[in-house]
């Protein structure tokens, strides 16, 4: 990474503390990613993004802001990127995937809540994340209790806009989400000074749809036996999708897929067990489960998570001549996401069963971040259905620390032997 000290100082960061994080990440990335054999050449771009994660991309954001642009941070796949793009703002998904931020997060939040929430709070409070420092506003949502209450704390540190996500999927709820999108449009217009028009919204929808298509193409390639890309690499691509420039991301992901298409022609069976991961998201730099599983005789070929299929499945229809019609299209697409915060949430079970077949999987690992109650409770339903279908299932509940790595490895090893 280049020398960005001056930029970080201008962003009012805690340089000393941030240096500790900067020193640890390359080693972690090197050990997990660069030791993989026979990686696609096109992954070099994604390696570069990680190497420059707190540097080059932040420079772009800062340059954009100097030119009068706005940057907003998001935490959930329900926040409609289309609106952010339509107001000419840059949206960045704020990573909350490191143990590094937990200590600071616990200064303002109880210890017994999900690490993702503690990490994002810690990243802001400890002044160790340049993305937070670059953001003019963050956009929260009322998904789980931990997030819902954390916005009130975050509000003391920076402007926060909270979208009220309905927790059922009736027609009335879809209409409520339409209203929330409209309120969000107003707030984004106020923040940026740019009016949303039918044309700008259609443009935003088009970019997001093309991004979804690129990710879907990558995932479809993983259906090959064996997959032409490791689960670790595919996860990295998904994680980068949240913060990279969308057009550049689409181009680089399509390049990667072109290369993988060539690879598919040469593939030979590798005897590895094909695993689906389902559950809570894995924000950058959370590579814990993937590195454990792929360190054994297995490959992860699909993630039914928000850093996986839930991010890109289903497109927003571009049909319509008014903002109201386009907002309705968006509400319909977003309300089709099967997050465990909904009741009931049958769609998720159906998705898991469908993917198990499509990706030809041998077993499912249910990944549950500690203290995420909605996903923990939903486990039972999914277990029941997978049992009926005779699909092996292993539940792993964990946080970002390394303390249980050995124990998880032993459990995954036993699971792989069993299937």
Cβ nearer to ligand BJ8, comparing 74 with 200: 74
In the complex, least distance from residue 289 CB atom to ligand BJ8, rounded to whole angstroms: 14
10 Å CB burial of residue 233 (0-12, 13-18, 19+) is buried
C-alpha to C-alpha distance for 268 and 135, rounded to whole angstroms:
46
In the complex, least distance from residue 131 CB atom to ligand BJ8, rounded to whole angstroms: 16
Cβ nearer to ligand BJ8, comparing 76 with 256: 76
Residues that bind ligand BJ8 (CB under 6 A): 76-78, 114, 116-117, 143-144, 146-147, 280-281, 306, 337, 339, 341, 369, 372, 374-375
In the complex, least distance from residue 81 CB atom to ligand BJ8, rounded to whole angstroms: 13
Cβ atoms of residues 235 and 36 within 8 Å? no
- In 172-319, where do the E strands start and end? 273-279, 298-304
Cβ nearer to ligand BJ8, comparing 144 with 391: 144
| DSSP-derived secondary structure letter, 272 | P
Q: How many CB atoms lie within 10 A of CB 346?
A: 12
Cβ nearer to ligand BJ8, comparing 146 with 201: 146
In the complex, least distance from residue 15 CB atom to ligand BJ8, rounded to whole angstroms: 29
In the complex, least distance from residue 338 CB atom to ligand BJ8, rounded to whole angstroms: 9
User: Which of 162, 148, 138, 151 lies closest to 71, judged by CA?
Assistant: 138
In the complex, least distance from residue 271 CB atom to ligand BJ8, rounded to whole angstroms: 33
10 Å CB burial of residue 14 (0-12, 13-18, 19+) is middle
In the complex, least distance from residue 145 CB atom to ligand BJ8, rounded to whole angstroms: 8
Cβ nearer to ligand BJ8, comparing 11 with 117: 117
Cβ nearer to ligand BJ8, comparing 87 with 142: 142
10 Å CB burial of residue 299 (0-12, 13-18, 19+) is buried
Cβ nearer to ligand BJ8, comparing 68 with 110: 110
Torsion, CA 410, CA 294, CA 96, CA 149, rounded to 10: -50
Peptide bond into 352 cis (omega under 30): no
C-alpha to C-alpha distance for 261 and 229, rounded to whole angstroms:
10
C-alpha to C-alpha distance for 60 and 416, rounded to whole angstroms:
44
């Amino acid at each position: 990474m280049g020398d960005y000290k001056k930029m970080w100082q201008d962003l009012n960061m805690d340089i000393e503390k941030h240096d500790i994080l900067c020193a640890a990440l390359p080693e972690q990335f090197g050990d997990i990613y660069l030791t993989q054999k026979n990686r696609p050449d096109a992954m070099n771009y994604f390696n570069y993004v990680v190497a420059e994660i707190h540097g080059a991309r932040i420079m772009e954001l800062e340059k954009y802001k100097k030119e009068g642009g706005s940057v907003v941070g998001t935490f959930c796949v329900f926040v409609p990127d289309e609106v952010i793009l339509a107001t000419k703002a840059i949206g960045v998904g704020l990573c909350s995937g490191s143990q590094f931020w937990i200590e600071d997060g616990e200064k303002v939040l109880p210890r017994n809540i999900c690490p993702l929430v503690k990490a994002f709070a810690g990243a802001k409070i400890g002044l160790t994340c340049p993305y937070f420092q670059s953001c003019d506003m963050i956009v929260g949502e009322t998904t789980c209790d931990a997030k819902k209450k954390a916005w009130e704390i975050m509000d003391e540190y920076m402007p926060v806009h909270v979208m009220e996500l309905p927790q059922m999927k009736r027609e009335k709820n879809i209409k409520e989400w339409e209203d929330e999108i409209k309120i969000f449009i107003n707030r984004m217009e106020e923040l940026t000074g740019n009016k949303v028009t039918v044309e700008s919204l259609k443009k935003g929808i088009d970019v997001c749809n093309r991004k979804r298509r690129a990710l879907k193409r990558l995932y479809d390639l993983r259906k090959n036996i064996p997959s032409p890309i490791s689960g670790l690499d595919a996860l990295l691509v998904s994680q980068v999708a949240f913060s990279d420039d969308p057009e550049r991301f689409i181009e680089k992901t399509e390049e990667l897929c072109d290369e993988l298409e060539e690879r598919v022609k040469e593939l030979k069976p590798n005897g590895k067990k094909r695993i689906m991961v389902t559950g809570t998201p894995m924000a950058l730099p959370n590579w814990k489960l993937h590195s454990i599983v792929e360190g054994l005789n297995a490959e992860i070929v699909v993630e039914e998570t928000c850093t996986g299929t839930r991010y890109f499945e289903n497109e927003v229809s571009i049909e319509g001549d008014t903002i109201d019609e386009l907002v309705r299209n968006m509400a319909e697409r977003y309300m089709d996401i099967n997050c465990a915060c909904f009741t009931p949430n049958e769609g998720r079970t159906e998705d898991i069963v469908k993917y198990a077949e499509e990706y030809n999987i041998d077993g499912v690992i249910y990944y549950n971040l500690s203290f995420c109650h909605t996903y923990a409770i939903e486990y039972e339903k999914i277990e029941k259905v997978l049992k009926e279908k005779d699909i092996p299932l292993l539940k792993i509940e964990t946080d970002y620390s390394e303390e249980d790595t050995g124990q998880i490895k032993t459990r995954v090893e036993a699971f792989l032997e069993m299937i």
